[in-house]
Amino acid sequence: MRLPRYIIALLMACSLMPLAITQSSLDASAGAPYVPRLGDIMNSIQSRHIKLWFAGMARNWELADYELHQIEAGLMEAAVLYEGIPATNVTTMAEPVRSITDAIEARDSKRFAKAVGELTDGCNACHQSIGRGFIVIQAPAASPFSNQSFAPRGKK
């Protein structure tokens, strides 16, 4: 039986928690391991969210799948490194991620848009729950990535 990747990622995150807790201080003293700031992780996820949206709208399913994996990795990294993020906030993202995966596999733009909307709602719910409700994510209207084509290779 093959476990869904979000379950595997969650199990990995839980197993790394003790290590992450010891590394979570922002002490920049010599020899201290580098820990990215939460804002930097979230900015990366936000960029991936934009790219996920435009890849799906362009029906570049390979790129959409890649960006979704990057979002999952970023969410796990944030959950492992920052104990202030409740685990339930990460686990509740599993269903929208599964819906996006299903839409990508089906190559269904309508289901994809709905599932990304659910993911976006999950982001905003998490922000609310940790006192950062002033950070509101939405579907992008225009791409800030003018140097990247989102169309599948060979199509423009």
Q: Which pLDDT does position 45 carry in this prediction?
A: 97
**Domains defined along the chain, listed by start:** 5-10+37-129 (1.20.120.10)
Q: Which pLDDT does position 19 carry in this prediction?
A: 44
| Contact in structure between 99 and 115 (CB atoms under 8 Å) | yes
- Euclidean distance between CA atoms 52 and 60, whole angstroms: 9
Residue 122 has pLDDT above 60, yes or no: yes
Q: What is the pTM of this model?
A: 0.79
Residue 113 has pLDDT above 60, yes or no: yes
| Contact in structure between 71 and 104 (CB atoms under 8 Å) | no
Residue with tokens 């820990």: 35
Q: Which pLDDT does position 155 carry in this prediction?
A: 72
The amino acid present at 99, given as its one-letter code, is S
Residue 22 has pLDDT above 50, yes or no: no
Q: Which of 153 and 27 is assigned the larger pLDDT?
A: 153
How far from 67 is each of 35, 50, 60, 93, 133, CA to CA, in Å?
22, 9, 11, 15, 24
